[in-house]
Structure formats: structure tokens, C-alpha cells
């Protein structure tokens, strides 16, 4: 185990579990170097199914260099429909070639536009919209540009197999992109929201300049922090920062003087972004839980007394097994060995909480970790009882993720599959051990 890069430590990923030096290099030199194909878990009827019963057109899109939200916005504009009539199961990165499903409410196949860097295939019709999480996982093929030490690959793989008790495995951290790669503040906004500090949440997002941003952006953010002159700041903010500008518009209109005004400014953002702030706060706490579990030397492949395990989801394929969070069990001293055998066979998972209103913390040593993290953050489960999209009941997440990984050496390319919600960069950070900005 060795210390992680400072940017990763800032979002709770304190360590690498492999001690070997990294291979170096960069990811995403080209979109084609980062390929992801969604493993689908959604049934569609034939495209000629009656639209009254099946009002949603199901489309498979292969996108090159498109952020999922940006693509949905562009598609809604081209179709002349609201953004709310377009749904998908998982958000994909911009600097990639990604293949995933979308559902379009009350759209005819003939109406689909031709968009640059996007191939659209009509799959059929459905009686409901896709919901976030309507997938099993993702298949990745990722090429590393200019590795400086490719011979380390074997040593790292061996160490990750040792950590995973025979399979290439890593702590199931939330990756850097969950928090913002260049300017990792999403979780800080979420923490302000959960603590009820609505004004701080707005200023953390709109203000809070970062050294890696362009000069004009930093100057605009500094102006917001120093003056609270929303109208003047709106004139200064670059048009590409549309979310910040939307919030400033709201503050100009409502006065920006009390907590309700600042909450209203946050609520002008897309609903999925509002939720993302709170989810990022939960993710940051989760990363800290895993880092402290590592510090204490507790196992990830098997439980200790007091852990909460979840049994495997029956619908998951063998190579993408993930927990069914509705089937959990608290591990007592008497049951440790029995449940450990279930974990070894992939039938159960040691979990930690994404804290929300319904979270029950673990017992034993893991419970001590969970309580200490929440105490340090000044949080408790009841704090997530928030209005609208900011509310979260919480859930559980496996502490370990296994990757069925193969490596080609020329060029250095990693191919693997991960269950839904797990990050390819969390596997590859162990191999590259570089500044997260080099990983996109």
C-alpha cells in the first residue's frame, strides 16, 4: 500500500493498494482510446408495437466525444421536445467512444436527427422510460498513451490479485470524475447542502476559483466571492459555464439575499445535477470509509464481525456480480466464517453505506470507522432529509470490485468489465499512478 496522488487524497482516495511503481502514461489522447459499451438490462418491444401502450422509442447511441447530458440537450433541441422526455441508464464520459441506450417519449423513428459524432440505432419501443441504473454494467477497452514503465504491469496485476484473493480487485472507490476532474468541488457543494448552508453551496459552485482554470474564469469566480454582485458577475462569466450563469440569473431575479433565494438558485439546475451534489457528498464519505478500512488492515474480500453484507443480485451475470441491497445481513461472531465462504464464492459482498436517512451503521470495528467519518464531516443520517431532489434515503455499496481483466502490450491496452456504478479509472489508477488529470 502506498500514498495516492494529492488530488485523489482530496476526494477520499488516500492509498493505492499496489506498491509497485506505475506504468505512467495518459488516458484519452483520442476518444477511440477509451471505449465503453453498456451492458443492457432493459426489455424493448418491436418498433411497430402500438404507441399507446409503448410510448417510448428505444435508441442505441454510439457517441464519440459527447458528454451524455450535452448529447441529451442537443437531441432534445433537434427534436423540439423537452429534455425531460429523454432518459438513459448511466452517464458516460465525454472523452470516449460510448455505446448506450436512450428512451425518447412520444418520438417517431423517422424524426431522429442526424448528429455529428453520433450513430443512432432504433432498438424498439418500451412501456416505460429508462431509469438511472437500468443496466448491468459496462465493458471497457482502454489504451494507455506513452507509458513510461510498461514492465510494471505484471507486478501490479499480481498485487491486485493478492488483494482480491485470487482475482484482480481494487477498493470500490468513486472515481475522480464523480467530483470533477479539473475542479473537484461537487462533493463540497453537496456537503454544504446537506449541512443546510445554501448560500455556501452556491458560492462553492459559482465562486471558489481553481488554479487550473483559465484566467477569465478565475477572475469571474473571484468577483462573485468578493462582491456578491450577481448582475455584474453574470456579465463577466464565460457563456460556456451555463450552469453557473443559470444560477446567477436566478439570483439576479430573486435578489440573492436569504437561504430560500440560494436554494432556488440551485433548483434551476437540471434535476440530475441537483441529485449529483448530494450523491457526491455521499461518495466522498464512502471513499473515506474505504481508506480508513485500508488503514486498519481490515479485509475487503471477507467480512469481520459487525460488518453488513449484501447477498448477490440474482439478475446479475456471473462476470458482473453485484449486491442486492435489499438482501442484507449483519455479521455476528457466530456467522463470520459462514458468510466469509459466501463472499469467497461471489454470493455475498462486504458493504459500506452511502449515508442517507434510512442508513443503519455497522457494528464492531467497521461501525467505529463509519461513526468517526460522519463525526469528522459533521453529518448524521437525518441530515439527508432534504427537499426535492436533494433528499436521499441512502443505500449500500460493495467495498470491493473485481475486474475480469486482460492486458495487451502493443499498444498497452486494458480490457475488462465492471458492474454498474463502478469506475474504470479506479482500476487504471492502480496501474498508471499519475496525476488524475492525465486520466481524463
Cα(93)–Cα(33) distance, rounded to whole angstroms?
A: 12
Residues in the chain, total: 440
Contact call for residues 145 and 111 (beta carbons, < 8 A): no
Contact partners, residue 332, CB within 8 Å, separation at least 6: 305
Looking at residues 422-426, what average pLDDT do you find?
A: 94
| Other Cβ atoms within 10 Å of 355 Cβ, number | 26
pLDDT at res. 413: 97
Compute the C-alpha angle 146/90/28, nearest 5°: 10
- With 90 as the cut, is the pLDDT of residue 97 above it? yes
Extract the C-alpha cell encoding 11. Answer: 476526494
Compute the C-alpha angle 278/279/284, nearest 5°: 100
pLDDT at res. 187: 96
pLDDT at res. 317: 82
pLDDT at res. 169: 95
Cα(336)–Cα(305) distance, rounded to whole angstroms?
A: 6
pLDDT in tens, 347-406: 999 999 999 999 999 999 999 999 999 999 999 999 999 999 999 999 999 999 999 899
93 is catalytic: yes
From the list 21, 43, 93, 326, the catalytic residue is 93
Cα(411)–Cα(77) distance, rounded to whole angstroms?
A: 40
378 to 194, 301, 364, 389: CA distances (angstroms): 10, 30, 21, 21
Domains of the chain in sequence order:
2-32+138-172+402-439 (no CATH), 42-133 (3.30.70.3160), 187-269 (1.10.1510.30), 289-398 (3.30.2350.20)
The phi, psi pair for 310, rounded to 5°, reads -120, 140
Nearest to 413 by CA among 43, 122, 33: 33
The phi, psi pair for 322, rounded to 5°, reads -150, 160
pLDDT in tens, 351-368: 999 999 999 999 999 999
pLDDT in tens, 257-309: 899 999 999 999 988 889 999 999 999 999 999 999 999 999 999 999 999 99
- With 80 as the cut, is the pLDDT of residue 322 above it? yes
Cα(60)–Cα(75) distance, rounded to whole angstroms?
A: 13
Amino acid at each position: 500500500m502506498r500514498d495516492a496522488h494529492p488530488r485523489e487524497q482530496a476526494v477520499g482516495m488516500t492509498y493505492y493498494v499496489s506498491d509497485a511503481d506505475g506504468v505512467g502514461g495518459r488516458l484519452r489522447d483520442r476518444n477511440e482510446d477509451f471505449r465503453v459499451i453498456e451492458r443492457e438490462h432493459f426489455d424493448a418491444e418491436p418498433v411497430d408495437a402500438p404507441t399507446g401502450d409503448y410510448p417510448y422509442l428505444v435508441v442505441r447511441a454510439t457517441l464519440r466525444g459527447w458528454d451524455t447530458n450535452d448529447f441529451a440537450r442537443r437531441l432534445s433541441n433537434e427534436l423540439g421536445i423537452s429534455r425531460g422526455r429523454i432518459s438513459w441508464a448511466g452517464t458516460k464520459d465525454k472523452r470516449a467512444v460510448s455505446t448506450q441506450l436512450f428512451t425518447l417519449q412520444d418520438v417517431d423513428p423517422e424524426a431522429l436527427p442526424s448528429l455529428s459524432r453520433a450513430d443512432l440505432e432504433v432498438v424498439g419501443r418500451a412501456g416505460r422510460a429508462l431509469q438511472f441504473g437500468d443496466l448491468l454494467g459496462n465493458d471497457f477497452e482502454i489504451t494507455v498513451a506513452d507509458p513510461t514503465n510498461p514492465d510494471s504491469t505484471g507486478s501490479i496485476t499480481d498485487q491486485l490479485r493478492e488483494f482480491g484473493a485470487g482475482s484482480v480487485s481494487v477498493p470500490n472507490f468513486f472515481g475522480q470524475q464523480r467530483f470533477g476532474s479539473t475542479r473537484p468541488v461537487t462533493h463540497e457543494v453537496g456537503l454544504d447542502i446537506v449541512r443546510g448552508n445554501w448560500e455556501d453551496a452556491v458560492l462553492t459552485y459559482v465562486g471558489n476559483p481553481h488554479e487550473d482554470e483559465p484566467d477569465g474564469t478565475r477572475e469571474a469566480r473571484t468577483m462573485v466571492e468578493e462582491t456578491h454582485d450577481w448582475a455584474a458577475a453574470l456579465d463577466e462569466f464565460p457563456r460556456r459555464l451555463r450552469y453557473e450563469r443559470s444560477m446567477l440569473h436566478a439570483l439576479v431575479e430573486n435578489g440573492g439575499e436569504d437561504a430560500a433565494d440560494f436554494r432556488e438558485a440551485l433548483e434551476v439546475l437540471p434535476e440530475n445535477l441537483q441529485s449529483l451534489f448530494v450523491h457526491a457528498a455521499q461518495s466522498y464519505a464512502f471513499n473515506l470509509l474505504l481508506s480508513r478500512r485500508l488503514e486498519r488492515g481490515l479485509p475487503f474480500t471477507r467480512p469481520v464481525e459487525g460488518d453488513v453484507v449484501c447477498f448477490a443480485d440474482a439478475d446479475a451475470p456471473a462476470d458482473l456480480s453485484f449486491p442486492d441491497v435489499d438482501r442484507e445481513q449483519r455479521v455476528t461472531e457466530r456467522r463470520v466464517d459462514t458468510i466469509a465462504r459466501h463472499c469467497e464464492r461471489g454470493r455475498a459482498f462486504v458493504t459500506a453505506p452511502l449515508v442517507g436517512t434510512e442508513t443503519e451503521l455497522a457494528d464492531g470495528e467497521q461501525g467505529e470507522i463509519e461513526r468517526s467519518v460522519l463525526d469528522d464531516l459533521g453529518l448524521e443520517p437525518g441530515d439527508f432529509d432534504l427537499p426535492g431532489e436533494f433528499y436521499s434515503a441512502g443505500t449500500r455499496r460493495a467495498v470491493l470490485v473485481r475486474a475480469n481483466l486482460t492486458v495487451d502490450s502493443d499498444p498497452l491496452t486494458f480490457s475488462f468489465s465492471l458492474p454498474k456504478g463502478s469506475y474504470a479509472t479506479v482500476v487504471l489508477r492502480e496501474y498508471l499512478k499519475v496525476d488524475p488529470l492525465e486520466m481524463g
